[in-house]
Every structure is written in C-alpha cells, then in structure tokens.
A = this chain, B = another copy of it.
Amino acid sequence: MEVDICLSPALYPYYKKENDIVIVVDIFRASTTICAMLSNGASSVIPVASIEEAKQYKSKGYIVGGERNAKKLEFADFGNSPFDYKKDIVNNNDIVFTTTNGTQAINAAAGCKTLFIGAFSNIDILSRECFTLGRGRIVVLCAGWKNKINAEDTLFAGAFTEKLSKLGEITYGSDSVRIAIEMWDKAKNDPIEFLKTSEHYKRLINNGAEGDIAYCFKENSTPIVPYYCATENKLRIE
C-alpha cells in the first residue's frame, strides 16, 4: 500500500490522485474535536469554511462551533476545544463547525473518493480501517497553520505511517513521508516536550487551552472512524 503525506492544504493539488483515501488531520484541535463530537453522540458534524456560512446556520437554530486563531468566535456556541462538546450537548444533534485550518483542509479535499478524519484519539482504528479497505493510496493531509506547515500534524503523519507499517507493507509516495517519520522518531518518546517550542503549542498556552494539549496526543480515546459524505456535506460515523 502506498502512503503519501501532504504537509499543507495548499500543496494538495500536487499530491492528489484519483481514488485516494485522504486522512484530514488537524491535531490542535479540529480533527481531535470532530472525533470527540461524534464519539459523544453527535448525529453529524457539518464542516463549513466561512464564518458567514456558520452564522447562517446559527440563525437557523443549529449548534455552532467556531474558532479563529485559537479563540472562540463570539457568535458561536462553543470553540475548538474537544472538552466543549459533552454528551448532553451534542447527542443526536448536527453540529456546525468552522475553524482556522481544519475545516479548510476538509474543504480542500472534499472532492476525493474517501475522506476520513484522523487524530491520535482514533489512530489505531483508523489505520486498521485503511488497511481493510485495501485499495488506492493513503494520503495524510495535514491542515497546518494558514497553509504553513506545522509540527504537530507532521508528527501525527509520521505516527500514523508507523502504525500502517506495522499492519502490512507500505511504500512511500514522496519524501514527505520520510520527513514525517524521522520527526516522529525524534519526538515519540515525549511528543509534548518536543512540541514546546512549536508555534501552535505556544498559541494554545497563550489562549488558556493548555488542558487540550495532552488530550490531543492521547491515543485511542475515541475509537471511531469519521468519514465525509460529500452529497450532504456532513461528517458521520457508521
């Protein structure tokens, strides 16, 4: 099975091929939070790229999660912390969600054949699911930060590739795979310590989201596989 890694949504046009399985990743925090929402019983997550669109949903009565630059949007019900979306809030509801990077990355890859949401919180079940599907390439699409490359998504891409390599034979689609694997190899003994000099770590600390960091690196706390249904523009689990 071929694995490739695209370290920024702006690079996706150069990495994409037909029939790819695309894993959208935004460790801090959108992809982790989407897993938390669906794991806590949300019917679906509706990812929207623009603030305007999120406001329209809000006026129709939807629960809206909205974040820009690590801060909750004023009009939104909640921000981008996985802890915001507790069972009693999300259960059986469609949650509209717009974030700085993650929902933009979903948007960039929305035309692909199969789109899954990846996070440390679903890393094992997702890697098994990719192997079970057993067709096409797997492309990890890192949301990054405003199209710049970030450390935490790169680390996940390396960790996920390592998981895949334990399930069967994989080949590397490009040098980015090697880069992510080497990074993960350097960081895996203590990824949070490794990230302390990274941009987004500091941004989360400065915005009082310190508690989210450990959660976002904890493996397998939400063993579900969120997939994107393009005809409905909804993320769901089976």
Interface residues of A (CB under 8 A from B): 7-8, 10-11, 14-15, 145-151, 154, 172, 174-176, 178-179, 182-183, 186, 197-200
Contacts and interface: CB of A to CB of B under 8 A. Distances in A.
A169 to B, nearest CB: 15
Nearest to A12: B10
A174 B197 contact: no
Closest 7 CB pairs of A and B: A151-B175, A14-B147, A150-B175, A149-B176, A148-B174, A175-B198, A182-B186
Contacts of A175: 145, 148-151, 154, 198-200
A172 B186 contact: no
Contacts of A179: 149, 151, 154, 179, 183
23 contacts: A7-B7, A7-B149, A8-B8, A10-B10, A10-B14, A11-B147, A11-B148, A14-B146, A14-B147, A15-B148, A148-B174, A148-B175, A149-B179, A150-B174, A150-B175, A154-B179, A174-B199, A175-B199, A175-B200, A178-B198, A182-B182, A182-B183, A182-B186
- Counting chain B CB atoms within 10 Å of each CB, the highest count among A175, A179, A183, A199 belongs to A175
A197 B183 contact: no
A176 B198 CA distance: 10
Interface majority SS (helix, strand, loop, mixed), chain A:
helix
A151 B151 CA distance: 16
- Counting chain B CB atoms within 10 Å of each CB, the highest count among A147, A179, A186 belongs to A179
Given A8-B8, A14-B147, 20 more contacts: A7-B7, A10-B11, A10-B14, A11-B11, A11-B147, A11-B148, A11-B149, A14-B146, A145-B174, A148-B174, A148-B175, A148-B176, A149-B176, A149-B179, A150-B175, A151-B175, A151-B178, A175-B200, A178-B198, A183-B183
B14 A11 contact: no
Contacts of A7: 7, 149
A15 B7 CA distance: 14
A177 to B, nearest CB: 10
A178 B183 CA distance: 9
Nearest to A151: B175
